[in-house]
Amino acid sequence: MSISDNADNTFAGDTHRRKPAVAVLLSLFCGGLGHIYCGRLGKGVALLTITTLIGPMVIAALLLGHTDWTFPTLIISFVVANLIWFYAIIDAFIIARRAPRDYQLKDYNRWYLYLLFILMIFPVGTSYALLVREGVCEAFIIPSKSMHPTIHQGDRVLVDKRAYRHTPVERGDIVVFFNPNQRERRWIKRVVALPGDVVEMKEGRLFINGEQLPRDEIDKADQNGGRIFEEKNGATSYRIFMAADDTKADLAPQDHPKTTIPPGHCFVLGDNRRKSKDSREVGPIPLADIIGRAVSVYFPRWESLK
């Protein structure tokens, strides 16, 4: 008389029909694990390997590749990973449905081996997510209107943390950096001047090295009660917002004395020039405090910031 039970902890040679629900559940935890449960060891290991390698390959591409690849690579890898995962779930379900009633349990059909796979994959995925956040890119929610009209309050912005590893900060870049007075907070502003530049503001007009930056008013009414201009700073141009003098909120000063930007620093301003705390208040920002360059608004809009 043989001894058996309903769990996959019996000896090889015992029989037990494969349950589609179990195959799907295991595949949800770990792509390919449902195939191993159904006796397709080779295919299961292949799917496990592919889904496990996608993370390191993407990170390597982002860390070593061109900075312009960051956002497209993340999107493509996310789509590919989910397609493979979805395929693994559906295929495992089909295989389990078609499995014979007298399925012969294999040596690897053990519940503790399934758990081991899950425990091995889970921290790997978590490590990939942390590595991407710390070394590749990070998402930030914008809490204020200081960058209106370019970035709106409540927008979610993707910041490329590799942007300045091999290339310098440029005028017109939108950067995220540590608040000099509150290091636990991050600010997002636009770089308008670089080391060695002389910055001055007169009646809201910005001067760099003694030359007034040209700007043209855009024929567009703004619901925030002000005027929108397109300002040209060297090779770049961007939109700025000038609030009306009768606005109830506190306004930033329109004048700023001549300031020479010291080495290793930059001068930043909010695009909402009269409603922004920036270098006019805290002084030039150390380049070492820059976390990365904002490259895209991905929610609720989808827009490149280049």
Q: Are residue 151 and residue 281 in the same domain, yes or no?
A: yes
Q: Are residue 180 and residue 266 in the same domain, yes or no?
A: yes
pLDDT of the residue at 13: 40
Q: Are residue 156 and residue 282 in the same domain, yes or no?
A: yes
Instruction: Confirm whether 88 is domain-assigned.
Output: yes
Task: Give the tens place of pLDDT for each residue, 100-130.
Answer: 888 888 888 888 888 888 777 765 555 555 5
What mean pLDDT do residues 1-15 have? Answer: 44
Q: Domain end: 79, 113, 135, which one?
A: 135
Task: Give the tens place of pLDDT for each residue, 152-207.
Answer: 999 999 888 888 988 999 999 999 999 988 888 999 999 999 999 999 999 889 99
Q: Domain end: 135, 168, 189, which one?
A: 135
The domain that contains 270 carries what CATH number? 2.10.109.10
Q: 64: domain range?
A: 20-135
Instruction: Confirm whether 4 is domain-assigned.
Output: no
Q: Are residue 110 and residue 155 in the same domain, yes or no?
A: no
183: left (phi > 0), else alpha (psi -120 to 50), else beta? alpha
Q: Annotated catalytic sites, by residue?
A: 146, 189
Q: Domain end: 135, 153, 187, which one?
A: 135
pTM above 0.75, yes or no: no
Contact 246, 240 (CB under 8 A): no
Q: Are residue 111 and residue 193 in the same domain, yes or no?
A: no
Q: Are residue 27 and residue 130 in the same domain, yes or no?
A: yes
Contact 263, 169 (CB under 8 A): no
Instruction: Confirm whether 119 is domain-assigned.
Output: yes
pLDDT of the residue at 11: 35
Q: Are residue 100 and residue 165 in the same domain, yes or no?
A: no
Q: Are residue 24 and residue 109 in the same domain, yes or no?
A: yes
- Rg from Cα positions in the chain: 28
Instruction: Confirm whether 28 is domain-assigned.
Output: yes
Instruction: Confirm whether 40 is domain-assigned.
Output: yes
Q: Are residue 209 and residue 271 in the same domain, yes or no?
A: yes
Instruction: Confirm whether 11 is domain-assigned.
Output: no
Contact 302, 292 (CB under 8 A): no
| pLDDT band with cut points at 50, 70 and 90 for residue 77 | confident
